[in-house]
């Protein structure tokens, strides 16, 4: 679970096991105590307080005057998976159009590796048959496939229908592979065009200009 909890989590020893020793704040506020109680009741850990970072990487919110910083955005994880969380820190450079900084967590998923890969059904590019030339090629190829002599004679009796179907299916698949081929994998990134790239670059440049602007605090530093 992650989000803006408006909770200052402290470093109280009575909460050890639910919180870490690297919170930005020494004492928890009312929302912080409620968050710790919530995590303890559900056997969770406030992982954003468990990693030693510089103070600048613990800030998640900055006041409009640029003088007050708080760590009020947190990531909670189930205790049995707490060791899979490798790090939590704030990213000041990310443009989020908010007075909150982006909080990034690094998670290592521990799962068993399964070598079995299910066979995925590949679809033929049937839309190509709308062209008259392609439809003619497919028909000619299909006739050639049906014209090939069988390697085995079709057995009489109950297996006659099954043998005929397998022969028909094989001829259609072979003709389709030779002519129309398989449907190409769709590209889900087609909507993000050059105009989107330019808008994103302009937005990032404006945000960088804003955080690098000369302020009284920077001049004093």
Instruction: Note the pLDDT tens digit of each residue in 32-83.
Output: 999 999 999 999 999 999 999 999 999 999 998 888 999 999 999 999 999 9
Query: What's the whole-number mean pLDDT along residues 136-145?
Result: 85
Query: What's the whole-number mean pLDDT along residues 118-122?
Result: 70
Tokens of residue 105, six digits: 């967590």
The Cβ of residue 90 has, within 10 Å, a number of other Cβ atoms equal to: 23
**Three-state DSSP class for residue 218:** helix
Cα separation, 34 vs 74, whole angstroms: 13
- Residue 193's pLDDT is what? 78
- Residue 156's pLDDT is what? 45
Residue 122 has pLDDT above 50, yes or no: yes
Cα separation, 77 vs 31, whole angstroms: 18
Residue-wise pLDDT for 191-212, tens only, equals: 777 888 899 999 999 988 888 8
Domain residue ranges in the chain: 2-107, 126-152+159-178
Cα separation, 173 vs 175, whole angstroms: 5
pTM value surpassing 0.85:
no
Instruction: Estimate the crossing angle of helix 132-147 against helix 160-178, to 10 degrees.
Output: 140
- Residue 34's pLDDT is what? 95
Tokens of residue 168, six digits: 């028909």
- Looking at the DSSP assignment, which residues form a beta bridge with residue 147? none
Residue 174 has pLDDT above 80, yes or no: yes
């Amino acid at each position: 679970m992650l989000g803006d909890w408006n909770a200052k989590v402290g470093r109280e020893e009575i909460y050890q096991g639910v919180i870490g020793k690297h919170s930005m704040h020494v004492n928890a506020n009312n929302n912080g105590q409620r968050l710790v109680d919530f995590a303890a009741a559900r056997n969770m850990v406030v992982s954003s307080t468990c990693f030693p970072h510089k103070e600048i990487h613990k800030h998640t919110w900055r006041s409009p005057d640029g003088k007050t910083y708080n760590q009020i955005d947190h990531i909670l994880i189930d205790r049995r998976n707490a060791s899979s969380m490798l790090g939590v820190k704030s990213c000041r450079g990310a443009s989020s159009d908010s007075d909150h900084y982006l909080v990034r967590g690094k998670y290592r998923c521990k799962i068993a590796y399964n070598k079995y890969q299910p066979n995925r059904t590949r679809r033929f590019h049937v839309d190509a048959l709308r062209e008259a030339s392609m439809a003619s090629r497919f028909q000619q190829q299909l006739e050639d496939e049906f014209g090939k002599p069988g390697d085995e004679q079709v057995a009489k009796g109950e297996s006659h229908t099954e043998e005929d179907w397998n022969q028909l299916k094989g001829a259609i698949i072979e003709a389709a592979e030779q002519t129309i081929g398989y449907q190409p994998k769709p590209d889900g990134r087609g909507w993000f065009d050059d105009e989107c790239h330019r808008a994103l670059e302009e937005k990032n440049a404006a945000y960088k200009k804003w955080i690098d602007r000369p302020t009284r605090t920077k001049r004093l530093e």
